Amino acid sequence: MLRKKSLALPVLHHLYLFLMMLTLAGILSAAAWLQYAGREIPCPLCLLQRLAMFGVAYGIIVNFRHGYSARNDGVSMIFALLLLIISVRQTLLDIYPRPGHEYIGSAIFGIHMPVWSILIATALLIAFALKFVVFGNERLADARRFPALASASKWLGFYMVALCVENFVSVIVQCGLGACHTWGYLLLG
């Protein structure tokens, strides 16, 4: 009974982190779907927002792969803050439509991507704050003690790494070594 109780908190903690990574994987997969199936070429600030989400995922992946550390959460929170700053600035840039400045891409539920990014960044920061409130700084067991969760997180982490490498290749094709533009893929003519 005591053993079950002592394991419940670490399991919940790692499940919480897993769900956060799953959400990020869903968002970044949807972005890839819109880019390739919807033929929507991402703008430079959109790419930087994707990068910030990969930065948040980095902290979670390392937590699962090599044991939990609050330092990794700190790294994730820095990138969540970067995501918030970039998305707020982009929203303010495009909030008053004028030549060369308007929201680009599809609106999902009537909301454009930079505004979604503000909501995502805020949700991530709230999620980390709640995590600290609920789980505190108790010594949490290594995720590798829970085989099913460890296996699922391993594959999800691998998917996130692969998705980042795919974005890297996509950026090479879109931007080459210069500035990025939304009118086409530079290397595809």
Partner 1 sequence: MMVAVFAAMSAALVFGWLGRRREATACLVLSLVLATGLFLWEVYSPEYGFRMPWIQVERALDPLPKS
Of 6 and 158, which has the nearer Cβ to partner 1?
158
Binding mask 143-162 for partner 1 (x = CB under 8 A): --------------xx-xx-
Per the CB < 8 A criterion, the answer to whether 54 and 164 are in contact is: yes
Of 17, 47, 127, 143, the one binding partner 1 (CB under 8 A) is 47
**CB of 133 vs partner 1, minimal distance in Å:** 26
How many Cα atoms within 13 Å fall on the side-chain side of residue 120? 28
Please say whether the beta carbons of 163 and 32 come within 8 A: yes
Q: How far is the CB of 117 from partner 1 (least distance, A)?
A: 13
Print the binding letters for residues 57-76 with partner 1: x by CB under 8 A, - otherwise.
xx--xx--xx--------x-
What the block records as the tokens of 129 is 């704050």
Q: Which of these segments, 1-9, 115-123, 142-150, 170-178, binds partner 1 (CB under 8 A)?
A: 170-178
DSSP class of residue 142 equals P
Q: Residue 6 Cβ, how far from partner 1 at the closest point, in Å?
A: 27
Q: Does 40 bind partner 1 (CB under 8 A)?
A: no
Q: How many CB atoms lie within 10 A of CB 169?
A: 9
In this structure, what DSSP letter does residue 187 have? Answer: G
2: CB partners within 8 A, 6+ apart: none
Q: Judge contact between 91 and 118, C-beta under 8 A.
A: yes
Q: In the set 10, 55, 105, 114, which binds partner 1 (CB under 8 A)?
A: 55
Cα(187)–Cα(177) distance, rounded to whole angstroms? 10
Residues that bind partner 1 (CB under 8 A): 44-45, 47-48, 51-52, 54-55, 57-58, 61-62, 65-66, 75, 78-79, 82, 85-86, 89, 92-93, 95-96, 98, 157-158, 160-161, 164-165, 167-168, 171-172, 175-180
